[in-house]
Amino acid sequence: MDAHRRPLLDRTPALLTEGYAWLPNRMRDSTRPVLRTRLLGRPALAVRGPEAVRFFYDESHVRRHGAIPAPVLDTLFGQGAVHTLDGAAHRTRKELFLPLLEAGRVARLTEHVTGAWDEAVRSWSRRERVVLFDEAAAVLTRGVCDWAGVPRRAVDADTLARDLVAMVDGFATPGPRHLRARRARARQEARTARLVEEVRTDAAVAPAGSFLERVARHRDAERGPLDPRTAAVELLNVLRPTVAVSWFVAFAAHALHRWPAHRERLRAGDDAFATAFAHEVRRFYPFAPFLGGRTVTELTWHGESVPAGGILLLDVYGQNHDEELWGDPYTFRPQRFLDRPPGPDELIPQGGGDPAAGHRCPGERVTVGLLQALAVRLARLDCTVPEQDLRIPLRRVPTRPRSGFVVTGVRAP
């Protein structure tokens, strides 16, 4: 019998109970960077390492259409999102997001967010306690909406912040968190689709060059203008992941609490160190566990095969903690990125390959820019960290410090 036709147990239940450790646990016992398994009733092959990234992002190997399960689309990404497209349709839709790679736009978004942060910090000094994760989500929502040209009257920023967090928080888990995520998406897609229609009928103004204007005017390769629901999905595909940077803000606060020696260089405004710190937060702390695509043809990697119609998985969390790549993967050490900036296919918390040509996250520069600026502000924050539950459960996807990182006695700068 062919190696890949030997029956294997479906591992979906193990994934749900083991979370981030699911693939790394199984790969640990292997001498090769590959694992044959079954997922969602299909044969699957999990791979890791820079070479494997190039194998995974080769469009002749994998397609994204039909690869993302409906519960993930109905919560995290939205039906018809750029994440689900292939070939020419993907490239045309991706153009919508490419300005996110421009340094000037990243800087302007960072200015909007840091402005909202500095204003919020002044109000924290009047409060007994503040949950940094929640506050970061609110600040990021205000900043990104202003940057994207979403009129303030069109959104209730607090509800939007809660809904955007819920969409991320509930995508991978059955039960109440998932239901909250579905309701949040349905509510925000409907509101955002109305806003797009208003822009198209001149009932609302989208500032020239803003993302809101781009999405309202965008034309797909074959289908012309996006229907309002799809336009809403893509606008939310900028708002939601920007607000998801609040996960990294909570992780950055955690790192500065556990390893306070890093504060000094951040406080001093050492830009190179702030970039290295942002990279290390994204490498060390868990966010996306893995990425997946449907195999177009039979694929073989390091002697293991998966048939056409199976699943190819890129082990993101495993690669970011691979001993061969990082030496001491479970040590939080920003200096590793000062000695040597990461190769494009080595550090992959936001995917690999070329963001303009493939599916790599177009918001990576935005994420690093925001995280750098907010890490400096966290290091300078004059406050007390009271006793609290700072455990980060690896079974929960996505995870974060259980308390959300509480601070008290914030003193205004």
Task: Specify the length of the chain in residues.
Answer: 413
Query: Does 366 sit near ligand HEM (CB under 6 A)?
Result: yes
74-93 footprint of ligand HEM as x/- string (CB under 6 A): --------xx----------
Query: Does 363 sit near ligand HEM (CB under 6 A)?
Result: yes
Query: Does 349 sit near ligand HEM (CB under 6 A)?
Result: yes
Query: Does 342 sit near ligand HEM (CB under 6 A)?
Result: no
The first and second tokens of residue 60, run together, are 């002749």
Gap between the Cα atoms of 226 and 199, Å rounded: 13
Gap between the Cα atoms of 265 and 228, Å rounded: 46
**CB distance 340 to 73 below 8 Å:** no
Query: Does 279 sit near ligand HEM (CB under 6 A)?
Result: no
The first and second tokens of residue 284, run together, are 């060390």
Residue 300's φ and ψ, nearest 5 degrees, are -125, 135
Query: Does 369 sit near ligand HEM (CB under 6 A)?
Result: no
Query: Does 365 sit near ligand HEM (CB under 6 A)?
Result: no
Minimum distance of ligand HEM from residue 132's CB (angstroms)? 15
Query: Does 351 sit near ligand HEM (CB under 6 A)?
Result: yes
- The stretch among 14-22, 172-180, 304-312, 349-357 that binds ligand HEM (CB under 6 A) is 349-357
CA distances (Å), origin 155, targets 86, 149, 183, 189:
32, 11, 17, 12
Gap between the Cα atoms of 179 and 175, Å rounded: 6
Select from 114, 305, 320, 367 the one that contacts ligand HEM (CB under 6 A). Answer: 367
Identify which of residues 304 and 364 has a Cβ nearer to ligand HEM in the complex.
364
Q: Which residue is nearest to ligand HEM (CB)?
A: 363
Instruction: Give start and end residues of each alpha helix (H) in 170-219.
Output: 176-200, 211-217
Query: Does 116 sit near ligand HEM (CB under 6 A)?
Result: no
The first and second tokens of residue 201, run together, are 């009928």
The first and second tokens of residue 9, run together, are 């147990």
- The stretch among 12-20, 159-167, 244-252, 298-306 that binds ligand HEM (CB under 6 A) is 244-252
- Of residues 179 through 238, those in contact with ligand HEM by CB under 6 A are 237-238
**Distance separating the N- and C-terminal Cα atoms of the chain:** 69
**CB distance 195 to 154 below 8 Å:** yes
Identify which of residues 86 and 304 has a Cβ nearer to ligand HEM in the complex.
86
- The stretch among 15-23, 169-177, 225-233, 358-366 that binds ligand HEM (CB under 6 A) is 358-366
The first and second tokens of residue 7, run together, are 């029956």
Query: Does 120 sit near ligand HEM (CB under 6 A)?
Result: no
The first and second tokens of residue 200, run together, are 């198209």
Q: Give the amino acid at 263.
A: R
Residue 204's φ and ψ, nearest 5 degrees, are -135, 155
Residue 110's φ and ψ, nearest 5 degrees, are -60, -40
Identify which of residues 55 and 409 has a Cβ nearer to ligand HEM in the complex.
55
The first and second tokens of residue 66, run together, are 């039909």
Select from 287, 317, 326, 337 the one that contacts ligand HEM (CB under 6 A). Answer: 287
Minimum distance of ligand HEM from residue 288's CB (angstroms)? 4
41-80 footprint of ligand HEM as x/- string (CB under 6 A): ----------------------------------------
Query: Does 106 sit near ligand HEM (CB under 6 A)?
Result: no
Query: Does 362 sit near ligand HEM (CB under 6 A)?
Result: yes
Minimum distance of ligand HEM from residue 62's CB (angstroms)? 10
Identify which of residues 181 and 291 has a Cβ nearer to ligand HEM in the complex.
291
Query: Does 11 sit near ligand HEM (CB under 6 A)?
Result: no
Can you name the residues that pair with 301 across neighbouring β-strands? 304
Closest CA to 304 of 15, 25, 30: 30
Select from 14, 101, 288, 296 the one that contacts ligand HEM (CB under 6 A). Answer: 288
**CB distance 254 to 401 below 8 Å:** yes
Minimum distance of ligand HEM from residue 359's CB (angstroms)? 3
Select from 20, 22, 97, 317 the one that contacts ligand HEM (CB under 6 A). Answer: 97
Residues in binding contact with ligand HEM, number by CB under 6 A: 26
Identify which of residues 94 and 262 has a Cβ nearer to ligand HEM in the complex.
94
Gap between the Cα atoms of 360 and 389, Å rounded: 34
Gap between the Cα atoms of 168 and 398, Å rounded: 7
CA distances (Å), origin 119, targets 22, 68, 104, 105, 272:
41, 39, 23, 21, 26
User: How many Cα atoms occupy the beta-carbon half-sphere of 160 within 13 Å?
Assistant: 27
- Residues at the interface with ligand HEM (CB under 6 A): 82-83, 94, 97, 100, 237-238, 241-242, 244-245, 247-248, 287-288, 291, 349-351, 359-363, 366-367
